[in-house]
A and B are shown apart, each in its own frame.
Chain A
Amino acid sequence: MSLKVQGVGKRFYDKGRGEFYGCKDISFAVEPGEVFGLLGPNGAGKTTTLRVVSTIYAPTEGTAFINEIDVSKDPQGARRHLGFLSSTSGLYERLTAREILQYFGRLCDMKEELLNQRIDMLLEALDFKQYADTRVAKLSQGTRQKVSIARSIIHDPLLIILDEPSTGLDVLAASAMHEFVRQERQLGKCILLSTHTMSEAEKLCDRIGVISEGRLLAVGTVEELKELTGKANLEEAFVKLVRKSESLTNAQ
């Protein structure tokens, strides 16, 4: 399973601003067993890019291929292979965590036996087994986030897309989540995540794409980015790339 994003652009319209790009000319590829991080400030276009890849937005330009399946031509086919954790999606408050996982598993055509095994595995891996039969309305923010993660990967997809997965998690929960991502990478999964936390990007990602104002500024490993910018750490490299992009935009 691999992901190829080719020249993806998404235009929006606002009465005040007119037509503008949410993301423009985004191209990158993620190989099996690789964690690719989109690192950018708020409003940089990370979520827009992830939504295009996960078939929620139809791209205005370009397209993405999930294992040779064109997301704009066959979104239904692409959906079978991807799991998407969105930062804006909610959970059914009146259902229990287990019921939600069962529902989504069945929607993804999972067999009952396999589904139950998968649910047990995810409850263990993400450490919320004790809350499996509690209604979501009574869960803490962190546990809800764990349920959301489990829900998005219940069907064991080969491409996992995580939009700011550690939002709302405490240190322990975030650590469990990081560990889970590493395990999935070892299983050969293709993982695309977005974050604005440098440490998370540094810890988890094999390669990072720095994104700002809807454009992909640079792609590479942490070392490559440091080398490219001549900075000592990722944070400084990131700030330099973003500032440079902003000054270029202002000059235009």
Chain B
Amino acid sequence: MLSREALEKILLVASKELVDMCRDFKALIPAVLLAFLLGPLVSCLAPQLIVSQVKEAALNVTSVAFQGDGGALFTKLSSNKGLKVVNLNLPPGDKQAWLSALEKGKVDVILSAPPNFAQKLSEYLNSKSTKDDQCPNVEVLYTGRIPSSSYAGMRMLSVLTATREELLKEKLVLHKVVVNAPPIVRVKVLSPPDDSQIASPFIARTLAALLVFVAFLGAIYPALDLLTGERERGTLESIVITPISRRRLFAGKVLAVTAISYLLVLCTLLGFYVAQFYQPPLLQILPFPLHARLPLSCALISAVLMLPLCLTLAVTLLSLAGLARTVQQAQGYFTALMFVAMMPLGIGVSGDIHLSLPLAVVPFLGCLIMMNDILEARWDAFLMPLTCLISLAYAWLLTMSSAPTMEREDLMFGVEESPERRWSSGRFGRELFLLCSSIFLLMFYLSQSMVVTHHVWGLILTQVFVVFAPGFFLVYFWLKLPLKSVFALSKPRGGFLTCLSALLTAPLTFTVAVLLASAQAQFLPNTKALEKIMEQVLGLSSEPLWLLIIAIALAPAIFEELLFRGVIYSLLSKRLPSVKLIVAVGTLFGLFHLSVMRFLPTASLGCLITFMRLRSASILPCMFLHAGHNGLAVLLTRLHISEPSAELIFAAALVGSLGFLSFLYLTKPVSKG
């Protein structure tokens, strides 16, 4: 819990920052005005523009030319008041001349009847058949390049449908056919929903996305000014030598940025709430409803729920601003973040995704979907408070981890440390964060599409370009670290027999992974269906075995080990004690596989391999174990052994245990003296 003194300090910083920001009228007034005007613009002006467009299109008479003999159909269409028949005086067979007239805009649309159309239509109308496929068709020609022609084409289709129904009705009357209509079902809704108490679909689909957009815009400038701006102006230097704790200082700034972002959100909500009373009457002909109904209860709940979202945005932007030396640099970071932040806005507009447990625990996304649900009168008493709590926890964690960046010498004064000194001090937190986030994003977006497109080869490409390349680029080109020490490809402690013992451990790790997977299947969805999909995507049963061994066993053993037990291990090893190091690298290895179901087995394997790296002082045994573990999985799949027998499990555990014990023996620390 926060002490009273801590709270006082946070509020002191926040109030000073707010006073400072509020005096910047030139930035604040346009932002507040924009926020206020957004509601009237979206609720009143945008529908009016759409209405005027629709009105104009509806009132316009569509000019149509008939090509060929359309018989009764063309006669009927000629009497339609919305159509103006133009005689182009062109030979019916010269298709090119007709199309050219359409391109030149002489008519909006051409109805082209094929040869003998009139005769076939007459036969159909006179016959007793009601089969659709016996009714001849005309072609509707229009050009999508000219808007009036495009609209006329769509309109023509609806006119044709109506005319066709009319002709069919006449035919039924002519032949005295009685159609028995299906019985009418009377539906009585008990306690019907009160629509006036929920937001209209138009508002429900747009408001959440717009509020997030405003919150983002509202947080950008203060975050830039209060952290990177202070750094650039030199005021941060005078603050960091006061005795206030960095975390309290950062928390105060987060509070100020949240307040300004939230103020703009409230202005926007107020604008939307007021605008609904001034929305001009909408025409019934609109293809989609644009009513701007926003009940007070919805507006108030939205106002409350936007607070965690503003907090999440504020703390994220401030953390990013804290990593930039100049305002320009921070702007670059924000632009990249904006693309990421804007992606979930599609969810708001589509409105088809609702809050679930996996989404509720994602800080930004959870809040956005929660907002959407509230506007559609969906309420989950467990998930919604959970999302708010997750946002608070995220803000707290980010504040704790980002606060020390405020006094970083390299960011404050642009001074650098030599690569050798950095290597020995092991301060690579920022680089590790960047590496992990880029690899996770690449895995999510690039790797999956590569695997779907190139199957097994996609896996190999993923290993080279997603797993290995970013880490290699980071250590070799950016940090200029000694590759020999980072990748530790030297002879392991205990010699090359250690590699063999690591390879022999694979049956044990594989058995443990199988047992863990079956144990967690009691709580989590079974992985069998997922495995089947993967088998199909990768073509495990059709690809040659050597290719599968390379793609699934050797490539990951080399490239994933170079990343996890090479780069990530090295970046963390100087800062973390052994146990924490093993758990951290293992957990990252588990997370990297992007699957809740596979997390426990892969993280456990990751911990064991990291232990081997630590104990043997080389990456080679790790590669052997990894290759053995994955190779066994490939072989068992190829041999169609989905559920190994108890004897097989026992034998594997025995061989693996012997392998592991021999590894421990071979790598035992040499006693001094």
Chain A contacts to B: CB under 8 angstroms: 11-14, 18-19, 22, 54-58, 60, 76, 79-80, 82, 84, 86, 88-95, 99, 103-104, 106-109, 135, 148, 151-152
Contact = CB atoms under 8 A, between A and B. Distances in A.
Interface stretch (B183-191, B237-245, B359-367, B600-608): B237-245
Given A103-B16, A107-B12, A89 B23 contact: no
A12 B242 contact: no
Contacts of B244: 107
B418 A18 contact: yes
Contact of B418 (A19, A57, A107): A19
A80 B241 CA distance: 9
Interface in B228-284: 233-235, 237-245
B24 interface: yes
Contacts of A13: 415-419, 421
Contacts of B543: none
Contacts of B421: 11, 13, 19, 60
Interface in B10-26: 12-13, 16, 19-20, 23-24
Contacts of B240: 56
A183 B573 CA distance: 52
A142 B58 CA distance: 72
Contacts of A104: 238, 242
A89 B240 CA distance: 11
B235 A92 contact: yes
Contacts of A95: 16, 19-20, 23
A56 B237 contact: yes
16 contacts: A13-B417, A55-B241, A56-B237, A56-B240, A57-B415, A58-B409, A84-B241, A89-B235, A90-B234, A90-B235, A90-B238, A93-B233, A99-B16, A104-B242, A107-B9, A108-B243
Given A58-B409, A107-B12, A86 B238 contact: yes
A8 to B, nearest CB: 15
A246 to B, nearest CB: 24
B563 to A, nearest CB: 27
A106 B252 CA distance: 14
Q: Which 4 A-B pairs have the closest CB atoms?
A: A90-B234, A13-B418, A90-B233, A94-B23
A135 B13 CA distance: 19
A152 B238 contact: yes
B416 A12 contact: yes
A93 B23 CA distance: 10
A79 B238 contact: no
Contacts of A22: 415
Contact of B242 (A57, A60, A108, A148): A108
A103 B242 CA distance: 11
- Of B16, B24, B233, B243, most buried by chain A (CB within 10 Å of CB) is B243
Given A22-B415, A94-B19, 13 more contacts: A13-B416, A13-B417, A13-B418, A19-B421, A56-B407, A76-B243, A79-B242, A80-B243, A86-B237, A88-B237, A95-B16, A107-B9, A107-B242
A108 B242 CA distance: 6
A89 B234 contact: yes
B116 to A, nearest CB: 83
Given A14-B416, A19-B418, A107-B12, A91 B241 contact: no
A17 B417 CA distance: 12
Given A89-B235, A94-B20, A95-B20, A12 B415 contact: yes
A103 B16 CA distance: 7
Contact of B12 (A54, A76, A103, A135): A103
Nearest to B420: A19
B416 A107 contact: no
A107 B412 CA distance: 20
Interface in B416-474: 416-421
A156 to B, nearest CB: 13
Contacts of A135: 23
Interface string B1-45: 000000001001100100110011000000000000000000000
Nearest to A47: B413
B602 to A, nearest CB: 38
Contacts of A94: 19-20, 23-24
Contacts of B409: 56-58
Contact of A11 (B234, B238, B245, B418): B418
Contacts of A56: 237, 240-241, 407, 409, 412
Nearest to B238: A89
A95 B23 CA distance: 9
Contacts of A58: 409
A104 B20 CA distance: 14
B241 A79 contact: yes
A91 B236 CA distance: 9
A108 B415 CA distance: 28
- Of A90, A91, A107, most buried by chain B (CB within 10 Å of CB) is A107
A106 B238 CA distance: 14
Contacts of B238: 84, 86, 89-90, 104, 148, 151-152
Nearest to A22: B415
Contacts of B23: 94-95, 135
B242 A82 contact: no
Nearest to A12: B415
B227 to A, nearest CB: 14
Contacts of B24: 94
Given A57-B409, A94-B20, A94-B23, A76 B418 contact: no
B237 A107 contact: no
Contacts of A93: 233
Contacts of B19: 94-95, 99
A164 to B, nearest CB: 14
Contacts of A88: 234, 237
B239 A107 contact: yes
Contacts of B415: 12-13, 22, 57
Nearest to B245: A76
A118 to B, nearest CB: 15
A127 to B, nearest CB: 21
A88 B235 CA distance: 9
